[in-house]
Amino acid sequence: MDIVTEGTRKAEFLVSEANDWRSRDAVIVTVPANTTLASGTILGKITATGKFTRQDTAAVDGSQSHAALLFEPLVNKTAAAVDYDVTAVARDAEVNGADLTYEASATAGEITAANAALAALGIIVR
């Protein structure tokens, strides 16, 4: 018998949210070439375009700030960045911190700071 490994499901990180999808926003997420973003990836918002991308503390375009969580996984297998119309959790939600995707090199202190920034949006990390 073959063994099948199931990946992360859409919104698996979500513990609870506000009624009537009040926690969610429709956003445009820019995914870099040959990149996969998991459900629960922390997003930053680029000030000039209003588009979201993976949050990066080293950036200076607005995406250094925590703005939302990606609701569903995104896969870009092309050689160029692609914009996707998707759902993001932007407010009034409880999430499982073990299922969030922080920056690859995030230290414990940076994770704590990220969780505090999300709490300021009303997204409580458990």
Contact 11, 71 (CB under 8 A): yes
Question: By percentage, how much of the chain surpasses pLDDT 70?
Answer: 98
Q: At 98, which CATH number?
A: 2.40.300.10
pTM of the model: 0.91
pLDDT in tens, 91-122: 999 999 999 999 888 899 999 999 999 999 99
> How would you classify the pairing of strands 24-31 and 82-89?
antiparallel
Domain count along the chain: 1
Residue 33 located in a structural domain: yes
Task: Give the range of the structural domain holding residue 115, as residue numbers without chain letter.
Answer: 14-125
- Which residue, among 35, 63, 55, has the nearest Cα to 106 in the 3D structure? 55
Distances (CA, A) of 60 to 48, 54, 107: 11, 13, 20
Residue 4 located in a structural domain: no
Residue 7's pLDDT is 66
Is the pLDDT score of 8 beyond 70? no
Residue 8 located in a structural domain: no
pLDDT in tens, 27-76: 999 999 999 999 999 999 999 999 999 999 999 999 999 999 999 999 99
Residue 104's pLDDT is 85
